[in-house]
A and B are shown apart, each in its own frame.
Chain A
Amino acid sequence: RKEVEQDPGPFNVPEGATVAFNCTYSNSASQSFFWYRQDCRKEPKLLMSVYSSGNEDGRFTAQLNRASQYISLLIRDSKLSDSATYLCVVIAYSGAGSYQLTFGKGTKLSVIP
């Protein structure tokens, strides 16, 4: 089983739709989780951190399910500008300041007019 898995998509959704992505991880010792956004041929940029209690930032909601080992990202009222690839990041600490950071391969979202 791969360490961090995402459905590659593409997810093609109409403007205004609600869309959700999941990211599963295999290392039960993982402790930190993030969602990054990457536009075509650009660098990844942090979208939001994922907290245990779930967190919301405007139209975006991130949730963590430790029991089932996945994180999710929900986008409400999709905009054309939301079209991008969404990468999940999972971090597991191994002590003495070392950590293993793993990116998912990303889920591509296209919002259609």
Chain B
Amino acid sequence: EAQVTQNPRYLITVTGKKLTVTCSQNMNHEYMSWYRQDPGLGLRQIYYSMNVEVTDKGDVPEGYKVSRKEKRNFPLILESPSPNQTSLYFCASQEYRGTDTQYFGPGTRLTVL
């Protein structure tokens, strides 16, 4: 089954404790993205990757890091989480470029205390 998986699905952590949210897709897609969704602000792109070892900033990259060492994986790293990073995070992948359907993971609900 074609899918995008994220882990963990729910996480409560404390300020400053480094964390990683994993994202994996089994569709051999080149493009992958991370979004955060907040009430009243909608979905905002954090980072995206056009291929292995190629990443670029989205609209709200501050406080986040990503890596793309393998085509299937695109982890999101919060080196020093802060309460304003409490949000619902989605990973997405698409085959190639913007005209293709984006497939979203189920979401990770992060709370930073």
Q: Chain A interface (Cβ within 8 Å of chain B)? A: 31-32, 41-46, 49, 87, 89, 91, 93, 97-99, 101, 103-106
- Chain B neighbourhood of A32, CB < 8 A: 98-99
The tally of residues in B whose CB lies under 8 Å from a CB in A reads 20
Specify which chain A residues have a CB less than 8 angstroms from the CB of B102 in the assembled complex.
44, 46, 89
Q: Which residues of B contact A93 (CB under 8 A)?
A: 98
6 other A-B residue contacts (CB within 8 Å) besides A45-B104, A91-B99, A103-B42: A87-B42, A91-B98, A101-B98, A104-B42, A105-B40, A105-B42
Docked CA distance A87–B104 (Å):
14
Contact across chains for A97 and B97 when beta carbons are under 8 A apart: yes
Judge whether B81 is part of the interface by a CB distance below 8 angstroms.
no
Q: Does B34 contact A (CB under 8 A)?
A: no
The 0/1 profile, CB within 8 Å of A marked 1, for residues 47-91 of chain B is 000100000100000000000000000000000000000000010
The residues of B that contact A99 with a CB separation of less than 8 Å are: 97-98
| A43/B105 contact (C-beta < 8 A), A98-B56, A104-B42 known | yes
